[in-house]
Amino acid sequence: MQREMRNDSSVLIVVDVQNDFLPGGRLAVPDGDAVLPVVNALGTRFENVVLTQDWHTPGHVSFASSHAGKAPFETIVLGYGSQVLWPDHCVQGTEGAALSAGLALPHAQLVVRKGFHPAIDSYSAFFEADHATPTGLTGYLRERGLSEVFVVGLATDFCVAWTAIDARRQGFATTVIEEGCRAIDTGGSLAAARSAMAEAGVQVVPRL
């Protein structure tokens, strides 16, 4: 039985399905490639699709290699708050930063690049990690009359959750589709993300 198409006021946001987050990448999310068939199938049910792309400068502040004596997954405090330090990943123009060739979403209308400010990390598709510097996605969605957001991608506990929470805070009805996501889950991050999404009013469903 064919599943219904979503109405034209809804949008599927596909978060960071990039080579560095897939098996063999610099910051591979466990089982990350399992989202590809799910995301591609979901894409056929949405008229409106937006992709996001982590797009870091070399020597980005979020990289452990930028801080002497620090190792990946340690946490430091920056001017905008707590920052997990990551392996170098999704550096602008590298193969690791490229969107996966396994994505089959030719009708996607927008790619939002984030994390390109050298001194600010960015998980959310809507705001940099300082919660103040916008990407412009809110205005894009509003000007197009899109009011309902569905989020999938990598990773559940960071970029997916932050995107969903910011979408809800910007007034969009927001749903995370779990079968289209995978998590890193470092230091209890997945449980914390689920709690934060629930508190923000994000609906989390196993599948659509």
Please, are residues 172 and 141 in contact by the beta-carbon 8 Å criterion? yes
Report, as residue numbers or ranges, the catalytic residues.
16, 114, 159
CB atoms within 10 A of CB 153: 28
